[in-house]
Chain A
Amino acid sequence: MSAAAAWRLPPRTLAARLTAILFAGLLLAHALSFALLFYERYVSSRTMMLGSMEQDVPLSVALLERLSPAERAGWMPRLERRTYRYLLRPAQPGGPLASDRARQVTALIDASLQHRYPLSARAVSSAPERFEVELRLSDGQPLTIEVTPSVMPLARWLPVVLAIQAGLLLLCAWLAVRIATRPLAQFADAVERLDPAQARPALSRAGPLEVVRAAAAFDAMQARIRQYLAERLQILAAISHDLQTPITRMKLRVEAMDASAESQRLAEDLAQLEQLVRDGVAYARSTHGAATPPVKLHLQALLESVVCDYQDAGKPVALAGAPTEAAPTTRPQALRRLLGNLVDNAIKYGGRAEIGTHALAGERIAVDVCDDGPGIPEAELAAVLQPFYRLEHSRSRDTGGTGLGLAIAQQLATTLGGELVLENRREGGLRARVILPAA
Chain B
Amino acid sequence: MDRTDHILIVDDDRDIRQMVASYLQKNGLRTTTAADGREMKAALDTSDIDLVVLDVMMPGEDGLSLCRGLRAGKHRAVPVLMLTARDDETDRIVGLEMGADDYLVKPFSSRELLARIGAVLRRTRMLPPNLQVSEAGRLIAFGRWRLDTTARHLLDEQGTAYPLSGAEFRLLRVFVDHAQRVLSRDQLLNLTQGRDAELFDRSIDLLVSRLRQRLKDDAREPAYIKTVRSEGYVFCQAVTLLGEQA
Q: Which residues of A contact B (CB under 8 A)?
A: 237, 240-241, 244-245, 247-253, 255-256, 270, 274, 278, 281-282, 285, 291-292, 295-298, 301-302, 304-306, 308-309, 312-314, 327, 332-333, 336
Contact = CB atoms under 8 A, between A and B. Distances in A.
A292 B89 contact: yes
B19 A249 contact: yes
A252 B168 contact: no
Contacts of A255: 23, 109-111
Contacts of B201: 314
Given A240-B86, A241-B57, A302 B163 contact: yes
A295 B201 CA distance: 33
Contacts of A237: 86
Interface residues of B, number: 42
22 contacts: A240-B86, A241-B57, A244-B85, A244-B106, A245-B106, A248-B16, A249-B13, A249-B16, A249-B19, A251-B107, A251-B109, A252-B15, A252-B16, A253-B19, A255-B23, A255-B109, A296-B158, A296-B159, A301-B162, A301-B163, A306-B165, A313-B198
Contacts of B151: 292, 295, 332-333
Interface in B146-171: 151, 153, 155, 158-168
A342 to B, nearest CB: 16
Given A240-B86, A253-B19, A313-B198, A248 B161 contact: no
B168 to A, nearest CB: 7
B111 A282 contact: no
Contact of B163 (A248, A251, A332): A332
Nearest to B154: A301
Contacts of A240: 85-86
Nearest to A279: B87
Given A252-B20, A309-B166, A332-B161, 11 more contacts: A241-B86, A249-B19, A250-B107, A252-B110, A255-B109, A296-B161, A301-B153, A306-B165, A308-B210, A309-B165, A312-B198
B159 A256 contact: no
B107 A247 contact: yes
B122 interface: no
Contacts of B160: 295-298, 327
Interface string B189-226: 00000001011111000000010001000000000000
A436 B107 CA distance: 34
Nearest to B214: A301
Nearest to B111: A255
Given A249-B19, A296-B161, A274 B107 contact: yes
A241 B87 contact: no
B22 A256 contact: yes
B88 interface: yes
B213 to A, nearest CB: 9
Q: Chain A at the B interface: mostly helix, strand, loop or mixed?
A: helix
Nearest to B88: A285
Contact of B106 (A248, A292, A302, A333): A248
B131 to A, nearest CB: 26
A291 B202 contact: no
A304 B13 CA distance: 41
Contacts of B200: 312
Interface string B1-34: 0000000000001011001101100000000000
Closest 9 CB pairs of A and B: A308-B165, A248-B107, A301-B162, A252-B19, A305-B165, A247-B107, A313-B198, A305-B163, A302-B163
Contacts of A245: 13, 16, 85, 106
B139 to A, nearest CB: 13
Contacts of A244: 85, 106-107
B169 to A, nearest CB: 9
Contacts of B199: 312-314
Contacts of B161: 295-298, 301, 332
A312 B165 contact: yes
A272 to B, nearest CB: 12
Contacts of B110: 252, 255-256
A304 to B, nearest CB: 8
A81 to B, nearest CB: 93
Nearest to A334: B89
Contacts of A295: 151, 155, 159-161
Contact of B168 (A296, A305, A327): A305
Contacts of A306: 163, 165
Contacts of B47: none
Contacts of B89: 291-292, 333
Contacts of A274: 107
A251 to B, nearest CB: 5
A166 B106 CA distance: 77
A249 B15 contact: yes
